[in-house]
Structure 1
Amino acid sequence: MATTTSLLPKSFPPFLTNAPSFPSTLFTKLSSFNPQDHPHCTKRPNLQTNAKKKNPWLDPFDDGEDPDMEYGSLFADGKQDEDDRPPENPDNPYGFLKFPMGYSVEVASLALKVRGDVRRCCCVVSGGVYENLLFFPVIQLLKDRYPGVQVDAVASARGKQAYELNKNVRWADVYDPDDHFPEPAEYTDMVGLLKSRYYDMILSTKLAGLGHGIFLFMTTARERVSYIYPNVNAAGAGLFLSETFRPNGMNLAEGGYNMYHQMVDWLGRPVRDVPRQALPPLKISISKKLKQTVESKYKKAGVDKGKYIVIHGLESDSKASMQSEGDSDSLLTIKTWAAIVRSIREFRPVFVIPHEKERENVEEIVGEDTSIVFITTPGQLAALINDSAGVITTNTAAIQLQMHAKNPALHYLALQRRGNYSFPTQRRRTVLLFHPRQKS
């Protein structure tokens, strides 16, 4: 049974006693950063957007809702109520949406449409593990804004692995939205699957053109919300979407921790008597079985709980490196990591390798008695970090898995590469982030 894990503050002696032999500019300790000393590093940018009318592609004369319109008692204001209606077919997981043979399909009530209630929502998330982890707060925002909503996710094979850490997602389906030439059978099957679930809202983080806009339109969801290309490739997509967001660049992941701020601002907007919904922090849920599996792995590597430091961000061509698509060259070589771990005291470094072929290289450069753990899924990495004394990592998913503590002390680090990335680090332990190597 999944239980929500909170990483409470924990004190321990510093594990770096001697400075490494490489230049000090290679890495920066987060605890030395003060938001007051670095005005460019903020907790969260003030993302106030001007009020805009509805999608001009659908109706150029629609200026939005009428502020003077009065709603009767039938269309009550405030948040929606949870649906307590029992299913017609208790043996069917779809509940009252699936009627027995001979019955007509369900017709949504007028009040539900006027109020804008969302009973079922689908999230099509582009990217890998890193991008799907950063979408967790958006899913929690949906659960808070629409009580009783059922949230499903559609992601790539790698991105789906992240949802074993999210208890708010009902189903997670594998379909790569970034594939420009999907198999016709997979394409039609996914359209039919999403259409048969009768979603009220579908959210997409893939930059939509005409093709992806038609894909979302064929799901027949009432609200079709998506990012669109910031260039001419977005032509025609607005005809099939209810709400569109135009990002500043072609890669949302370059926005760092706040990469979905436009969608978050729209989802949390105030509506009549519903105030603005704040974005909750990143939270994950680690099952007991997952903890036991990872515990057997690191004990086999010769370390005990709370007495090791996780080393993540080893350079590899494996897709299990869990790095951000907006920071593709953030991984460090094993020689650099070997120079870093020489200065670690009190705790034993544990190298996380994304592929077994990297084990021999680590043992050859660092030493044969090195503790090595082979981990490819974000759930196992989260369990490993949860039992550790600290993390040393580059810009990978290990940052996000370490950031869901409730410690109010915030520190910030701006990684300089193709712009600034701000990562709030609410942490109970010391975490070092390293600047990615610069291309020559």
Structure 2
Amino acid sequence: MRILALVPGGIGEQILFFPTLEDLKTQYPNALIDVIVEPRAKIAYRVCPHVHEVLMFDYQDRNGLADYLNLLGMIRDREYDVAFTLDKRWTLGLLFWLNGIPLSIGYQTSTAWFLSNPVPQKTEQYTAYMYHDLIQGLGIQTPCPPLKIAVPKDDISWAEGEQKRLLLQESGYILLYGGFGESYPVPQWSNIINNMQQKQPSIPIVLLQWAGNEAWVKMVQESCPNLKVIKPSGVGRLAAMIAGANLMVCTDSTPLQLAVAVGTYTVALFGQTKATKRLPPSQDKYIGIQSATYNLGDIQATTVLEKIWRS
């Protein structure tokens, strides 16, 4: 059996889809599972053992007829038996129909004309659960597995080397990630850092530089000198560094999803995005702080510190 999944979105969205891929592999252990993702998200599959082939299509681009014909050919060449799509555009369902894929599964919409087995979309739940609902289109009613990843040994070795270089091995460390989109004010980060250094002076605080947040790292370093910085060059190395941390404090991001996947205690700040959609329910290890105004900057440092010391 060959199974295809069309998964738009960045690295974080791919990680949230990993439990669905895992369950598909459990239900059909001999199946070959391929995904079609955006170029920016391909690196996510370094830490996913369930996928046979990662193909690329830029869902966000202004795709013309030639782009869809190329996608049509890519799908046709592999003769899939089952296809899933997280993208609700009717044109992708049409591609499945034109390819003669026996089972095509996506979310129920008013334009899901070409899907053989549409599934209701429950948007208010944890996103990994919402994605996992799609396998109900195959008559599967199993619970959604937790997020898990498989970090390659050479990435673990790299992280161990960095921990040794930064003198982190004996004391452990706290990892901070401020992201690069919706930002939490640097003065608030400074308050958090100063308080943590006063209460736990023996535990190093490490800034995570990843995916375009160099400006944030520079501003925090200027405000709080002598902080350590880690710059992992891939998802596996990033995950390995997060796995070694005692605690991570971050905004909604790829590092957050990796922290959940590796089981690191995490305090996550949310503005416009709902915490209930990005964190698994009934999990004390992952604490979400939701801005009451949906403005990330309105979360007080004292609120964050209360959650940190509770964790």
- TM-score bracket for the superposition, by shorter chain length: 0.7 to 0.9
| Amino acid of the structure 1 residue aligned with 2:209 | I
Tell me the equivalent position of 1:277. 142
Identify the match of residue 215 of structure 1 among 95, 105, 119: 95
Structure 2 CA distance for aligned equivalents of residues 156 and 434 of structure 1: 30
| Secondary structure of the structure 2 residue equivalent to 1:339 | helix
Higher mean alpha-carbon deviation, 129-138 vs 386-395, is at 386-395
| Amino acid of the structure 2 residue aligned with 1:242 | S
Structure 1 CA distance for aligned equivalents of residues 94 and 50 of structure 2: 28
Is 1:360 aligned to residue 213 of structure 2? no
Scaled by the length of structure 2, what TM-score is found? 0.78
Structure 1 CA distance for aligned equivalents of residues 288 and 263 of structure 2: 20
Structure 2 CA distance for aligned equivalents of residues 426 and 380 of structure 1: 28
Higher mean alpha-carbon deviation, 136-145 vs 293-302, is at 293-302
Tell me the equivalent position of 2:305. none
Structure 2 CA distance for aligned equivalents of residues 426 and 350 of structure 1: 28
Is 1:123 aligned to residue 15 of structure 2? no
Is the 1:194–1:219 contact (alpha carbons within 8 Å) kept by the matching residues of 2?
yes
Identify the match of residue 262 of structure 1 among 133, 136, 142: 133
- Quote how far apart the aligned CAs of 1:305 are: 6.5
Structure 1 CA distance for aligned equivalents of residues 267 and 179 of structure 2: 24
Structure 2 CA distance for aligned equivalents of residues 131 and 191 of structure 1: 23
Identify the match of residue 256 of structure 2 among 377, 399, 404: 399
Tell me the equivalent position of 1:136. 18
Is 1:165 aligned to residue 47 of structure 2? yes
Give the aligned CA root-mean-square deviation in angstroms: 3.4
Distance 1:434 1:278, change over 3 A: closer
| Secondary structure of the structure 1 residue equivalent to 2:42 | helix
Is 1:194 aligned to residue 51 of structure 2? no
| Amino acid of the structure 2 residue aligned with 1:214 | L
Distance 1:348 1:268, change over 3 A: farther
Identify the match of residue 342 of structure 1 among 190, 194, 202: 194
Scaled by the length of structure 1, what TM-score is found? 0.57
Structure 1 CA distance for aligned equivalents of residues 11 and 287 of structure 2: 21
| Amino acid of the structure 2 residue aligned with 1:390 | L
| Amino acid of the structure 1 residue aligned with 2:240 | A
Indicate the structure whose relative CO is greater, using CA pairs within 8 Å and at least 6 residues apart: 1
Is the 2:121–2:130 contact (alpha carbons within 8 Å) kept by the matching residues of 1?
no
Structure 2 CA distance for aligned equivalents of residues 254 and 128 of structure 1: 19
Is the 1:208–1:227 contact (alpha carbons within 8 Å) kept by the matching residues of 2?
no
Structure 2 CA distance for aligned equivalents of residues 411 and 434 of structure 1: 11
1:17-416 equivalences under 5 Å are 119-179=1-61, 181-182=62-63, 184-209=65-90, 211-229=91-109, 234-235=110-111, 237-238=112-113, 240-247=114-121, 255-267=126-138, 269=140, 276-304=141-169, 307-312=172-177, 314-317=178-181, 329=182, 331-344=183-196, 345=200, 346-354=202-210, 355=212, 356-367=214-225, 369-375=226-232, 377-404=234-261
- The count of residues paired between Structure 1 and Structure 2 equals 288
| Secondary structure of the structure 2 residue equivalent to 1:260 | helix
Structure 2 CA distance for aligned equivalents of residues 194 and 350 of structure 1: 44
Deviations 1:150-188 (A, max 9, x none): 111111122222111111111111212343x22554432
CA radius of gyration, larger in: 1
Distance 1:405 1:362, change over 3 A: closer
| Secondary structure of the structure 2 residue equivalent to 1:127 | coil
Distance 1:202 1:135, change over 3 A: same
Is 1:421 aligned to residue 276 of structure 2? yes
- Quote how far apart the aligned CAs of 1:339 are: 1.4
Distance 1:146 1:223, change over 3 A: same
Distance 1:339 1:434, change over 3 A: farther
> Which structure 1 residue ranges, 5 or more long, are not aligned?
1-118, 270-275, 318-328
Distance 1:430 1:146, change over 3 A: closer
Structure 2 CA distance for aligned equivalents of residues 258 and 171 of structure 1: 24
Distance 1:403 1:158, change over 3 A: same
Structure 2 CA distance for aligned equivalents of residues 281 and 132 of structure 1: 14
Distance 1:205 1:343, change over 3 A: same
| Higher helix proportion (structure 1 or 2) | 2
Is 1:435 aligned to residue 306 of structure 2? no
- Quote how far apart the aligned CAs of 1:257 are: 4.2
Is the 2:35–2:54 contact (alpha carbons within 8 Å) kept by the matching residues of 1?
yes
Structure 1 CA distance for aligned equivalents of residues 267 and 221 of structure 2: 34
Deviations 1:48-107 (A, max 9, x none): xxxxxxxxxxxxxxxxxxxxxxxxxxxxxxxxxxxxxxxxxxxxxxxxxxxxxxxxxxxx
Is the 1:228–1:245 contact (alpha carbons within 8 Å) kept by the matching residues of 2?
yes
- Quote how far apart the aligned CAs of 1:264 are: 4.0
